[in-house]
Amino acid sequence: MSKTAVSAGPTALHPRTGTAPRPGTGLARLLRENPALRIGQDDYNINVTANYGEELSAPQVADALREHPGAGRPAHLYFHVPLCAYICHFCNYVKRKVPDGPEGEAAPRVWTDLLLDESGRRLAHSPWLRDARIESVYLGGGTASLLGTEQLSRLLQHVRTRYTLADDCEVSLEGNPDNFQHDELAEARALGFNRFSVGVQSLQSEVNAFAGRGHDASMSLRAIDKLHSTGAPFNVDMMFGLPHQTAATVADDIRALIDLGVPTVTIYRLRNADRAKMGIGNRALWNVDSVKNRLREQHLFPTLGETYAMREAVVEQLLDGGYHPSPCGWWNRPGVYSDGNIPRVSRNKWQRHDSMIAYGPGAYGWLTGDGDTVTQTHNIADISGYARRLRQGPGLPLASGRRLTGHQAAGMVLGFAFKANQPIDAGRFRERFGVELFHDEPFAGVFADLMARGLVEAVPGAAESVVPTLDGEALHEEIISVYFHRRVGDFAEAVCHR
């Protein structure tokens, strides 16, 4: 694929150009034309981190952390809080239900202590962390808001005093509607949180009840009203492909959010892969074979076609409401964020792929910079094992890692760049990895294929930049997995010119 071919572009232009028609024949056509991107429900566990590259032991990861030249460079800071008031039937992330009684009352302090302990150990082990420029902080989980005002205050105070935060650092707090019914958001705003995320998933109470959620539609609407009152940007997480959903009901949900002026609507397909078998999560109830088979026999899981019909119905509503995705799957109203209308957390993690420093059980991060190497870091995923490791002696609660170099690292970074849904510039990859995206294999073949299939297009006026089309955005997770991780990351021939 030549630079001239890139600058020509396909006929369907991205909405950022202002001349893009919507996908005309729908996602059903896309899936027929791209059979490699038809990933079934039980195999759908798209992850932008890589499962290729050199495997590292915990001591090797610790050495990489110590030696990383990250001082003065931008970074993202993540704290994983593994507490939930209830366990959703679809959730396969690292979490546990807060117990009743005194143990449950003590859980927020216990887990704040553990997170602060790990952070302190990491700072002592890797002194460069004190001088990294933290541009975004995210408290997720689990349900990070369950820590409560007192413990959130302790954690933020630690971050402010032990790290170097940018003056305009974005600090996000994640929670569920049932956590935001009273003064919790106003108190969090006063502590310094300036961005929020709430997991609504559906405004259909039947859907949430079947999935084991602890809130109904009225609670979700009240939480959204409370979020608006903070004056801070926020996103509302919504899922499609759940039992008891239809294309019409998910479209109604999104239309309601648009009418409420929600600044960012994030849409996610149900993932029902067993992450526990992969060592990166907990087993969900719907992962259990007997439960999964019963639901399937009752035809409660939507088919792949029905699932993508839901997404298409959602996107139609969002486009009608003037929203555009930045990053992929995160649909923003115009002007919510500056410079590409993308949240800082997404800019740091995905668009620029800055180092991500992650704490908590099962948390994963990475170390990156100007060179052609990326190191992934993975904490102990077992919650009890993580806590035990911290309580029983010195050291870091690391489990493993991966070292990616050359085309492997380039494939991972390309996957993140595609996820960001911002222009992918060939000059950046030439400078960092010594490769020509539109001339060297496997990159040239990947982009030629994506271009021919209408999944990327040229950026007008930028001869060496491409960006996902709306069709590419619709299948972005599948594209990352198939094209960038498999075709680039697993490519056997060395391509780096350095």
Residue 165's CATH number: 3.20.20.70
Cβ pair 404, 50 in contact under 8 A: yes
The residue to which tokens 């195999």 are assigned: 43
pLDDT tens digits for 393-415? Answer: 999 999 999 999 999 999 999 99
**Which has more confidence, 212 or 15?**
212
Question: Does any domain span residue 299?
Answer: yes
H-run or E-run covering 374: strand 373-379
Q: How many separate domains does the chain show? A: 1
Question: Does any domain span residue 278?
Answer: yes
Question: Does any domain span residue 201?
Answer: yes
* Domain, as residue range, for 87: 55-347
Tokens representing 284? 């969900």
Angle, to 10 degrees, between the axis of helix 101-125 and the axis of helix 58-67? 60
**Which has more confidence, 19 or 415?**
415
H-run or E-run covering 80: strand 74-81
- The whole-number pLDDT of residue 473 equals 96
H-run or E-run covering 356: strand 355-359
CA torsion sign for 138, 229, 143, 250 is negative
End-to-end CA distance of the chain: 22
The one-letter amino acid code at 42 reads: D
Residues 475 and 471: their CA atoms lie apart, in Å, by: 7
pLDDT tens digits for 294-304? Answer: 999 999 999 99
Question: Does any domain span residue 402?
Answer: no
CA Rg, the chain, in Å? 22
Question: Does any domain span residue 406?
Answer: no
> Is pLDDT above 80 for 49?
no
| Residue in 207, 182, 215 with CA at minimum distance from that of residue 86 | 215
Cβ pair 108, 147 in contact under 8 A: yes
The residue to which tokens 């791209």 are assigned: 34
Question: Does any domain span residue 422?
Answer: no
Question: Does any domain span residue 19?
Answer: no
Mean pLDDT of 27-50: 82
Question: Does any domain span residue 375?
Answer: no
